[in-house]
Amino acid sequence: MVRYLSHYKGPYRIFTVSKSKEMTEQLLAAGLTVGEISEDTLTILPDNIAVTIASEEKARFSVFAEGDVVEINERGILYRWYSVVEGDAGIATTSHCNSNCIMCPASESERRLANNISLPQLDTVLKHMPKDLWYFTVTGGEPTLIGEDKFLHVMRSVKRELPHTRILLLTNGRTLGDRDFFAKFAQTRPNHLRIAIPIHGSTAQKHDYITQAPGGFRQTMRGISNILHAHIELELRIVVSKLNCDDVTNIAKLIIRHFPTTTVVNFVGLEMRGNCVANADQVLISYQDAFQKSKEAIRLLIHHGIDVGLYNFPYCMIDEEYWPIAQKSISAYKSMFYDACEQCRLRHECCGIFLATMNFYKPKVYPITSGDQYDKLL
Ligand code: SF4
């Protein structure tokens, strides 16, 4: 989420928002930079840089809550790293990726940009995160492509600054297939780590066609084996598209046979932006059809003791028996609802529909109004 403060002429800073003198004193005593917000002024402390919030900027600025972690650059552009209201937080180490998945919500041009996080920036962000933070995500692009030394620095910093937080590393798993790299990673990894990796096909041919990265399937399989041998919590993801919907059951069988100690498999609905839009004729499938094609795979995985989740599937597009495994997986700023959703009894539990998907096509919704149906979720 980006905001703008037109009168700001100061230096780049990362700060924690305070709206009271007591909070400001506590944060300063902890060695943190503070952005104290009063009626019409932002004061950055201890630098003591005061800037007026213009009257037309006040409404947009009011979204910042006490405890939010915010960055401001020399041009007055603000970026929120952590929202107290949303709860979780994360970093993208780089936009770069060594795969180019046909249905990726990032575009090929975004993928080519390195856009790496600087290590001082990372360390400052982490220092400002609340110590009782529940979740923190490390992602990319492909996060390991920031470079071996820098990636290991990220892992060490996360481990040091957030020792009690659940860390989710989102990766394509290819780099983790390298034995030497993995050995170093295993020594630096954070305490409460889960690694999430997508499998796009049950064979090298199918997986590598979707990732457009020949040889990637073997590397990813080795990465997954390394993770399980090191007893690190593993989440596998299956992004269900028109290209792999008839292979989903085979992917589940592969997981059951070769990776039975996987903690959870999440089935992921498409986000229609980037490559996914460019290749819509090849990949687009409705959420209803993607779910129906996944049912046998879900049944098999659960039968073999592997937890299953559904990401990005609104309740009204899946069978009622599967409501308990549907997750509110879309960040609030990316999630949209129709006016009709306001009558739906699951409006506040529902993930909604991606804003980008809504812009591309308008999936039909079926508001859930009957009490019986609602009770099945509880
Ligand atoms: S009608 Fe709207 S709120 Fe209800 S389940 Fe469907 S998408 Fe979600």
Residue partners of 287: CB distance under 8 A and separation at least 6: 269, 312, 313, 314, 317, 318, 363
First to last CA, the chain: 33
Nearest to 270 by CA among 296, 246, 295, 242: 242
Is residue 112 predicted with pLDDT exceeding 80? no
344 lines ligand 1 (CB under 6 A): yes
Give the predicted TM-score (pTM) of the model.
Answer: 0.93
User: What are the domain boundaries of the chain?
Assistant: 2-82, 88-306, 312-378
37 lines ligand 1 (CB under 6 A): no
Q: Is the CB of 330 under 6 A from ligand 1?
A: no
Ligand 1 centre distance from Cα of residue 266 (Å): 20
Taking CA atoms only, the protein residue closest to ligand 1 atom 6 is: 316
Convert the pLDDT of each residue in 156-215 to its tens digit: 999 999 999 999 999 999 999 999 999 999 999 999 999 999 999 999 999 999 999 999
- The answer, yes or no, to whether residue 374 has pLDDT greater than 70, is no
Mutate to test the pocket of ligand 1, among 291, 310, 313, 316 (most ligand atoms within 8 A of CB): 316
Residue 376, pLDDT score: 56
Protein residue with its CA nearest to atom 2 in ligand 1:
341
* pLDDT tens string 312-352: 999 999 999 999 999 999 988 899 999 999 999 999 999 99
Ligand 1 atom nearest to CA at 338: 2
Rounded to the nearest integer, the mean pLDDT of the chain is: 94
State the distance from the centre of ligand 1 to the C-alpha of 268, rounded, in angstroms: 17
pLDDT > 90? residue 62? no
Residues present in the chain in total: 378
CA-nearest residue for atom 1, ligand 1, is 367
- Compute, in angstroms, the gap from residue 226 CA to the centroid of ligand 1: 40
Task: From the options 3.30.420.40, 3.30.930.10, 3.30.559.10, 3.20.20.70, give the CATH code of 88-306.
Answer: 3.20.20.70
Q: Torsions phi, psi of 206, nearest 5?
A: -70, -45
